[in-house]
């Protein structure tokens, strides 16, 4: 996946938000976490964000919210926004529109958010159009690639700091697989945001 999506990709999916206007959202950075909540990982993220007085948006899996409601409540109680990442981490590609929407709606019965992020960013135009009738589809313009087994923590950090700025939507992952890179990069990104006078806000639409 693209760390910083090219314009032709964003134009193909006009129903999606790939970031926010840097002038309208000057001084604001939007850090997001996919795939949680996850035991041992989510509390670390929430604690780290709190140290920097930062708020984020957690795109949660419905099955994880169902299994770990206390971790989900920890996210919400600490003032972070939540979004829908489907119930079962379903790829849009290869699934019928109706089946995909059913999975998103099942997740919504636990998450109750008007924000959705498709897993892997893999969604068809017809699925996107249907989802956008009831949800705001949030993509990204800065992908950390923290999930990569071959990417070093320092390279993960560079993926973010090279591209982030006002209105940027940054993707990290709330997962065991990503923890090695994410746990290195996140505090350093938060330090960099302070240096750049960027306030880390939740996505609220």
Catalytic residue annotation: 34, 173
Which helix (H) or strand (E) covers residue 116, if one does?
strand 115-116
| DSSP per-residue string spanning 127-178 | HHHHHTTTSEEE--SEE--TT-SSS-HHHHHHHHHTT--TT-EEEEE-STTT
CA 159 to chain centre: 15
CA–CA dist 22, 173 (Å, integer): 24
Q: Which of 122, 105, 123 is nearest to 114 (CA)?
A: 105
CA–CA dist 118, 130 (Å, integer): 13
Phi, psi of 19 (to 5 degrees): 150, 180
């Amino acid at each position: 996946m693209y760390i910083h999506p090219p314009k032709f990709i964003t134009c193909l999916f006009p129903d999606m938000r790939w970031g926010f206007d840097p002038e309208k959202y000057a001084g604001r950075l939007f850090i997001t976490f996919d795939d949680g909540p996850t035991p041992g990982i989510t509390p670390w993220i929430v604690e780290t964000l709190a140290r920097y007085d930062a708020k984020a948006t957690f795109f949660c899996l419905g099955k994880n919210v169902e299994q770990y409601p206390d971790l989900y409540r920890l996210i919400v109680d600490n003032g972070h926004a939540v979004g829908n990442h489907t119930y079962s981490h379903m790829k849009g590609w290869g699934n019928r529109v109706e089946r995909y929407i059913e999975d998103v709606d099942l997740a919504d019965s636990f998450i109750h958010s008007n924000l959705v992020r498709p897993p892997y960013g893999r969604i068809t135009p017809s699925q996107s159009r249907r989802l956008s009738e009831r949800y705001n589809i949030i993509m990204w313009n800065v992908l950390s690639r923290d999930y990569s087994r071959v990417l070093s923590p320092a390279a993960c950090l560079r993926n973010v700091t090279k591209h982030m700025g006002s209105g940027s939507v940054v993707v990290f992952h709330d997962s065991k697989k990503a923890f090695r890179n994410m746990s290195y990069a996140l505090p350093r990104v938060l330090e960099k945001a302070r240096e750049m006078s960027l306030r880390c806000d939740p996505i609220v639409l």
